[in-house]
Every structure is written in structure tokens, then in C-alpha cells.
């Protein structure tokens, strides 16, 4: 029995199949995060500029998802300015931190921006920016990176899912001899709604 795929719009056009049983289609492919932008569900979370004046590990970004839908972080961006030392800078991502002075201090990040500038949707998260010597506690190491000064490093993570109540923290450890380095951390993310998933 043969099956004919015909245009439901009434044009009478039928789908074409070649000699190798390949269906002829014209399609557009896009990443899921770009697809989420169409629905006003893509966001940029940015700490703004923070100056670190010592060599201790400092918690600079904390994000906790309060949405019913998963928050999916696809990449982290580390903007590192000129440092007084040219040695390596360590950047660590912690899974599910529960507290620390970055949480108890609760200073909101510079931006939680919807990347669809025509959308008025907002993101329900706790997003805090840290400072020199602030801490995260309760988290476990998930991702470790080694960064040089005067660098913009985009760390593509694939997809880190933060279900409701889950969290993430990013810490920076300046190099030995540091007395001043400017750092800016950003998270590119989207809300994984049923609409975005196509369910």
C-alpha cells in the first residue's frame, strides 16, 4: 500500500521521493537556544565588572532557578581584563551550592536580560554577583577552566539543566602576585518551556 503526502493547504502538491527513497524537503535548522529566543525565553545573566585585588578564590556568580520549568545554561562567558600577574587564572563552576557569603550578601547581578527585545517576559531566578573573597558553600565542582588575562573565553557547556530549586556558582581564583584584575561573568541560558520543546 502506498501513502501519498499531499499539501493540506489545498494546492494539490505532493511530496517528491527520489530513486534512493529520499524525501525532498526544504527546512530551516536552528539551535534550541535560538529557537527559544523566538518565544521570548532566552536570557543573558551578567555580573557586570568586578575587580579582584588578591589571590584568593572569590565567588562571582550565583544563579538559582525558581521557575517551574528547567533553566538551561548553554554557555558561560568569562571576560578577563589586564592583570598585575600574567600567570593563569582559575575559573570553577560549582553544582548546587546552598549558601555562602555570595548568597547571604544577595547583591543582584547587573543584568538578567531577555534577548528578544520585543518580549516583556522575565526570568524568576536568584541571580547574585559576588566580590573579593566572597564564598559559595555546599556545592561540588562541576567544571574547571584555566584562563589567561586579557581574554574573552566562551565555555560551551552543551546544556546544563537547572530544575526548579537547583543552583550554580562560578568562582575565580586570580594568579599568584595579583593585586588587581577586572572580571565579568555571563551566562547564556533559556527557559525550557513546553512551547520551546515543541510539546
Each residue's pLDDT, cut to its tens digit, for the chain (199 residues) gives: 567 777 777 787 888 888 887 887 766 667 888 889 999 999 999 999 999 999 999 999 999 999 999 999 999 999 998 887 778 899 999 999 999 999 999 999 999 999 999 999 999 999 999 999 999 999 999 999 998 878 888 888 778 999 999 999 999 999 888 889 999 999 999 999 888 888 6
Q: Burial level of 39, CB count in 10 A (0-12/13-18/19+)?
A: middle
Burial string for 174-189 (b: 16+ CB within 10 Å, else e) reads: bbeebeebebbbbbbb
What CATH topology corresponds to 32-197?
A: Jelly Rolls (2.60.120)
Of 39, 68, 77, 65, residue with least CA distance to 156 = 77
Say what the pTM is.
0.86
Domain residue spans in the chain? 32-197
Residue 28 is predicted with a pLDDT of 62
d(CA 34, CA 1): 40
Q: Cell numbers of 8, please?
A: 493540506
Residue 26 is predicted with a pLDDT of 67
Give all strands (DSSP E) within the chain, no chain letters. Answer: 42-46, 50-52, 58-65, 70-83, 89-95, 111-114, 125-129, 140-147, 151-162, 167-173, 181-192
Tell me 175's DSSP state: P
Residue 197 is predicted with a pLDDT of 84
Amino acid at each position: 500500500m502506498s501513502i501519498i503526502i499531499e499539501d493540506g493547504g489545498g494546492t494539490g502538491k505532493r511530496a517528491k521521493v527520489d530513486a534512493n527513497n529520499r524525501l525532498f524537503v526544504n527546512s530551516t535548522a536552528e539551535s534550541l537556544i535560538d529557537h527559544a529566543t523566538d518565544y521570548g525565553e532566552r536570557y543573558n545573566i551578567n555580573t557586570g565588572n568586578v575587580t579582584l585585588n588578591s589571590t584568593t578564590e572569590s565567588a562571582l556568580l550565583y544563579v538559582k532557578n525558581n521557575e517551574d520549568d528547567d533553566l538551561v545554561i548553554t554557555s558561560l562567558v568569562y571576560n578577563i581584563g589586564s592583570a598585575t600577574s600574567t600567570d593563569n587564572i582559575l575559573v570553577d563552576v560549582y553544582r548546587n551550592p546552598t549558601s555562602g557569603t555570595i548568597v547571604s550578601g544577595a547583591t543582584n547581578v547587573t543584568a538578567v536580560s531577555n534577548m528578544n527585545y520585543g518580549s516583556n517576559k522575565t526570568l524568576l531566578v536568584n541571580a547574585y554577583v559576588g566580590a573579593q573573597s566572597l564564598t559559595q558553600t555546599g556545592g561540588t565542582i562541576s567544571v574547571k577552566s584555566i584562563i589567561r588575562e586579557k581574554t574573552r573565553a566562551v565555555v560551551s557547556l552543551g546544556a546544563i539543566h537547572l530544575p526548579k530549586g537547583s543552583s550554580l556558582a562560578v568562582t575565580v581564583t586570580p594568579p599568584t602576585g595579583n593585586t588587581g584584575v577586572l572580571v565579568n561573568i555571563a551566562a547564556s541560558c533559556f527557559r525550557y518551556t513546553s512551547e520551546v520543546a515543541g510539546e
